[in-house]
Amino acid sequence: MRSLLYADSCFALRRMKQYLLVALVIALVPVLLGVSRGSDPLDIPAAFQMMVGIVALYVMLFFTLCASFQADEMGGWERARLTLPVTRRDVVLGRYLFILLSLCSFDLVITLLGVASACLLPQAFPLMRDAFDLGGMLLAGAGSIAAFLALVSLQMPFLFMWGARRASFALSLPALIPLASMVIPKDAVALVARAAIVWVGSWGPWPVLLVCLLAAMVMYGLSALLSCVLYERREL
Amino acid sequence: MARCMESSVGTLDLSGEPSDLRVRGLAKSFDGFALKDVSFGVPRGSVVGLVGQNGAGKTTIMRGILGELAFDGGEVELFGQRLSGLDDAALRAVKSRVGFVSSVCAYPGEMSVAQVATMHYLAYPQFDHQLFEELAERMGLLPHDPRPHLSHAARKLVKDLSRGMGMKLQLACALACGASLLVMDEPTAGLDPIVREEVLDIIREYLEPGDKSVLISSHITSDLEHLADYVMMVDAGELLFSCEVSRIEDEMGLAQLRAAELEQVLRADERGFGPLRALRRSGVTALLVADRHAFGRQFPDYVCDPADIDDVMTLMVKGEVI
């Protein structure tokens, strides 16, 4: 499994600069546009902490996930790697481990960038507040890991069952979320949101986050087991 | 009589010899193609050549042996162990003794030469990095350098390697991983004659200790004539023919007969020369015989040249039984 993890890492590291650049452009442009207009007193540190970090993290994860599965199908690597002393289970678990490590690494890098920017940007832009909420930043970072782990848990079994080409719909799953919001009744959404706010209020954000992280990890583990079964049966 | 067995099963009877690879009753169905009841063995210390037309099933057999695809039926045994009964750890241990070389370098294009070597180092417990560097230098993949792994060539990406260089990279990795069995799927396809000869020399050196085996498929039958101990032919998913290469060269023959000559041969009461196949071509019939010396004694006026693997392949596929 180490060899497959290494192969995935080599591929990802070679693309890392472009992923990071694209992610930061996507995340930063709306923020900087708002700052340059100056009309809306944007809460830049909070916006930067929340939006930039989350968006950048998601974009990098999306690229990494797409690219790694698409690379499998280029040049016959998907079949050739099975000639190494690895099993199909190693292939699946290696990819799950790679995505998890990537997610945590990206989150760490983006959080550090966020902390550095939140310290430096108020000096350059007068509209920005001096104070920044480190706790909020870390909360957002950890919460993002839980949310994206849950998302990837839904996507990966399809990708292992059918491959990137046939299961491209799974990669576009996040795009379906806005569509789902149009279908699900607004009253139901409001009810769930109020219950969540009450729950968070009574427990505090960090215990709730811990529960969410644990739940996401369990979901990720179950997804891995399912993927092992599906990949074992797949005709390459 | 040549030690050849021609049958729909086509198994060379090597049951008494220790084999690094043995397959029994392999079967696999795809749309429009089916592998049927293929059984053979690769004796320890030998080279077995696998020949056949395009689409005959050679690559399917090789892919299944290494676990790239699952057979519908049959059994694969590597180093005396049935693959189907092994747990993950045992399967990895068995596969770590097998090296694979394909006609197409399928490593991820974004990996460099050095990274591919590192990947093999992480995969194979017995990977010898120094041997890899020696082989890579010898084959021109890496420069002669005190630290070749830091050279520009080592940083070259797989996608930028030529076909020949890609094949050499695979070969260097396969040999450096300490494999006892090499499985090679048309490794010399598309290579120039000089590189091909280099590759064959390296394979011969690999075989020198006598405890290594090779299963090699190739369209370049002259390579097999110089390298292989046994040759098997697959056609339309079936093992058509298997034989020692030396028997083809030393005993089998190809006679080119005109109609009257063929009639005389067919009318002969005794056929100690063991006619196998005949192929009629514009006035002349090519007749493949199992023992050209016996044919020569019985028909001294007719020319019977030594057969080669190409002749056997052509006659077995296109010829008719007489």
Q: How far is B268 from chain A (nearest CA, A)?
A: 53
Predicted confidence (pLDDT) at residue B40 exceeds the cutoff of 50: yes
Cα B38 to the center of its chain, rounded Å? 15
Our CA dihedral for A96, A100, A103, A105, rounded to 10 degrees, sits at -130
Strand partners of residue B256: B286
CA nearest to A2 within chain B: B122
Q: Using a CB–CB cutoff of 8 Å, tell me whether B109 touches chain A.
A: yes
Q: Which residues on B lie below 8 Å from A6 (Cβ)?
A: 115, 118-119, 122
Higher pLDDT, B175 or A169: B175
Confidence at residue A161, expressed as pLDDT on a 0 to 100 scale: 93
Residue of chain B whose Cα is closest to the Cα of A81: B107
- Say if CB B186 and CB B49 are below 8 A apart: no
Determine if the pTM surpasses 0.90. Answer: no
- B177 vs B206: CA distance, rounded Å: 12
Residue linked to tokens 């084999």: B19
Lookup result for tokens 């990720």:
A220
Residue A166's pLDDT is 87
Which among A74, A79, A80 has CB closest to B109?
A74
Is the pLDDT at B9 greater than 90, yes or no?
Answer: no
pLDDT of residue A174: 67
Question: DSSP 3-state helix, strand, coil percentages of chain A (rounded to 5)?
Answer: 85, 0, 15
Share of chain B above pLDDT 90, in %: 46
**In the block, which residue shows the tokens 């079994």?**
A157
- For residue range B52-91, list pLDDT tens digits in order: 988 889 999 998 888 888 888 899 999 999 998 899 999 9
Strands laid side by side in the B47-51 sheet: B4-6, B238-244, B230-235, B47-51, B213-217, B181-185, B98-102
Give the start-to-end residue ranges of the domains of chain B. Answer: 19-247, 251-321
| Minimal Cβ distance to A6: which of B100, B119, B183 | B119
For the segment B281-305, what is each residue's pLDDT rounded down to a tens digit? Answer: 888 999 999 899 999 999 999 989 9
Residue numbers of B between 53 and 72 with CB closer than 8 Å to A: 63, 66-70
Q: Which residues pair with B287 in a beta bridge?
A: B255, B278
Report the residue of A84, A93, A234 to disrupt the B interface, i.e. the one with the largest count of B CBs within 10 Å. Answer: A84
Interface check B297 vs A, CB under 8 A: no
The angle formed by the CA atoms of residues B161, B164 and B168, to the nearest 5 degrees, is 90
Distance separating the N- and C-terminal Cα atoms of chain B? 18
In angstroms, what separates the C-alpha of A62 from chain B's closest C-alpha?
19
Question: Which residue in A has a C-alpha nearest to residue B118's C-alpha?
Answer: A3
> How far B276 CA lies from chain A's nearest CA (Å)?
38
- B240 Cα to chain A: minimum distance (Å): 27
Please tell me the distance in Å from B96's CA to the nearest CA on chain A: 5
Per residue in B216-261, pLDDT (tens digit) is 999 888 889 989 999 999 999 999 888 899 989 899 999 999 989 8
The secondary structure of residue B320, as a DSSP letter, is B
Interface contacts (A, B; CB < 8 Å): 87
pLDDT mean across residues, chain B? 87
Asked if the C-beta of B119 comes within 8 angstroms of chain A's C-beta atoms, the answer is yes
Q: What is the pLDDT of residues B303-313, one digit of tens each?
A: 899 999 999 99
* pLDDT of B1: 33
Report, as an integer, the average pLDDT of B102-110.
Answer: 90
Closest residue in B to A74 (Cα) is B108
Per-residue pLDDT at B2 exceeds 50 = no
DSSP string, A127-192: TS-S---HHHHHHHHHHHHHHHHHHHHHHHHHHHHHHHHHTHHHHTHHHHHHHHHHHS-HHHHHHH
Distance CA B105, CA B274 (A): 43
**What's the alpha-carbon Rg for chain A, to the nearest Å?**
20
Strands (DSSP E) contained in chain B are 4-6, 19-30, 33-43, 47-51, 73-78, 81-82, 98-102, 181-185, 213-217, 230-235, 238-244, 253-258, 275-281, 284-289, 304-306
Q: What fold characterizes domain B19-247?
A: Rossmann fold (3.40.50)
Residue B16, min C-alpha distance to chain A (Å): 28
pLDDT digits (tens, 9 = 90+) for B177-211: 999 999 999 988 888 888 888 888 999 999 888 88
Q: Does A18 touch chain B (CB under 8 A)?
A: no
The pLDDT of residue A128 is 59
Q: Terminus-to-terminus CA distance in chain A, angstroms?
A: 19
Sheet holding B81-82, edge to edge: B33-43, B19-30, B73-78, B81-82
pLDDT of A74 reads 85
Query: Among residues B96, B172, B91, B165, which one has the least CA distance to residue B133?
Result: B172
Question: Can you list the residues of chain A whose pLDDT is less than 70?
Answer: 27, 29-52, 122, 125-133, 174-184, 189-190, 193, 196-203
> Over 60: is that where the pLDDT of B6 sits?
no
